[in-house]
Structure 1
Amino acid sequence: MNSADTAPALRKRHGNGPVFFVVATVFAVAVTIGWGYSVMSYSGLGGGVYHQVISVSAPSGSEARISFEVNSREGAECLVQALDDQMVLVGEEKVDVESGNRMVNRTVETVRQASTVEVASCREQGSQD
């Protein structure tokens, strides 16, 4: 079987013109452009606010301390939570942070000894979420 015999079979299956290949190429280009746009415009689930915990401590049964860094374009509102060894909430505080790259040191009052402190969330100030 030579290539002359296979060409008629391809023409019967996909048509005489290059329409199938043109449509497939246009589809591939559209998907590539759409994927590229979505990757370029993705800003994360939390919007434009990023945070990183630097250190935590729980020196007594009535307070816990946390140091964290926040980077935001228009200011952020962060929720800091203190948890005991059973992961039960023992203290909580909302913290307003100015725009830019900021270092935050916060002491949270607790109802009993905390074992960890975490930044539960940070979002842009004024967001309705």
Structure 2
Amino acid sequence: MTMTIKNVYLALCLLLLVGCEITPFYDDLPATPQPLAPSDGITILNNATVTFQWQSVPRATSYEFHVYDFTHQKDMKYLTVDLHPSDICVADVCSLEKTIAMEPSLHHAWRVRAVNNVGGSIWSRSGFVVNP
């Protein structure tokens, strides 16, 4: 009988009588999520609540989301990691609401990437303008 890591893990869970959650194990990176809204180039009012949406991807066990100033990549606002698909995705669309309070500029962007046990996908990117 061949013992795999998953089989050993399950055996230990049963032996210890501990409720264990089985995390999927993948052999490759998840695909890059496609941004849906707000679309590239849209204008957002400062201090407005914005719903960010992207296409869910297979093999993602979590997502990382980020809003930033893409000219300098120093204004690292609204970084959110470990977003679980069961919490933010319905069918094949994932959503996250954020109130955007940033300097008025043409150089802002939001990005998202999918993550699993292998690592993170390439970041998607969609630019936007903030008006006062």
Per the shorter chain, which TM-score range? Answer: 0.3 to 0.5
Q: TM-score, normalised by structure 2?
A: 0.45
Structure with the bigger percentage of helix: 1
Q: Which has the higher contact order (CA 8 A, sep 6+)?
A: 2
Q: TM-score, normalised by structure 1?
A: 0.46
